[in-house]
Amino acid sequence: MASTLKNLSQHSDSNIQDIGSKRFGLLVSEWNDEITESLYSGALETLLRYGAKRENIFRKNVPGSFELPLGAQWMAKQEKIDAVICLGCVIQGETRHFEFICNAVAQGITQVGLKYDKPVIFGVLTPDTQQQALDRAGGKHGNKGDEAAITAIKMLGF
């Protein structure tokens, strides 16, 4: 398991623990859903592969990435949730709001994790193009959803 983890994340294989009793909130932005559904599939498969139980994984959608922090807060405040994984995709070419959205989401997700003292993972792609997003959502550069799930697992083993 550890070597597979290393390959997936390109990080060390520290902080791996049994996650059979851990409960995960997966929050999925509906903007660019071709991308975010792939991120979701990657995150879900990775959690299951590392021992999470299907009944302990809870999915909710939000309209866009800007809504991820509030959705994450609603999830994180639930005692049953141990970690939240936020999945979104903001493509620069499609919005003049790019910097506003990306900065707000990054700061908001950070604040939720600190407020609720739980891992709240930033699984948000911020590419220049749709192709760059596809490359990172199950394409030639892997799947950011996998990496987000591994990050959550590692933080739970901190």
67 binds ligand DLZ (CB under 6 A): yes
> Judged by CB, which is closer to ligand DLZ: 56, or 92?
92
Name the β-bridge partners of 61. Answer: 28
| Residue in 8, 19, 27, 31 binding ligand DLZ, rule: CB under 6 A | 31
> 90 among the known binding-site residues?
yes
127 binds ligand DLZ (CB under 6 A): no
Measured distance CA(57)–CA(21) in Å, rounded: 11
Annotated catalytic residue 141: no
Measured distance CA(22)–CA(156) in Å, rounded: 8
| Residue in 22, 26, 27, 29 binding ligand DLZ, rule: CB under 6 A | 29
* Cβ atoms within 10 Å of 23's Cβ, excluding its own: 17
- CA trace torsion 10, 56, 18, 7 (10° rounding): -20
Residues that bind ligand DLZ (CB under 6 A): 29, 31-32, 63-67, 88-91, 94-95, 97, 101
